[in-house]
Structure 1
């Protein structure tokens, strides 16, 4: 017997998230994913803070005023991506938290 995806997902959601609507289940899963992403970006940012012993804003200023080597330039872009990711995931968590609090 072959079950279709919708049946499997519906049954799993009912077992794993009993009492929640499909929208609440989806919001909960998105919230968990955003939390994991936030942790990943925070870890990346800490790596560069430790490596350079600087805050990102100070490092950015040094990069703008100097002539960075290839590694510093790549680190700058990766670090900036991590900082942007932290900001984005924080906003996403706030939005999803509001939605989940209404439920």
Structure 2
């Protein structure tokens, strides 16, 4: 959860100490990861949104020349819109947010 108390809801620490809550949370996450939040499902949503936003993204990067440039606090520096979308999907899967 990090050191910065302002970035996380104040109640999370207490909730995550509660055994009943953490078991229920794990069960719900596991349930969702086989359907609505599966890697394939989230990838399809990301790709469909990328298609919808394609023209807007082009205009955005014409106006704001940030592709290939570091912008604080971003860790990843994409060279293209597609590389940003691919990196986001990979990031979610690697962190076991999605399975």
Tell me the TM-score normalized by structure 1: 0.31
**Structure number with higher helix proportion:** 1
Q: Which has the larger radius of gyration?
A: 1
**Larger RCO (CA within 8 A; separation ≥ 6):** 1
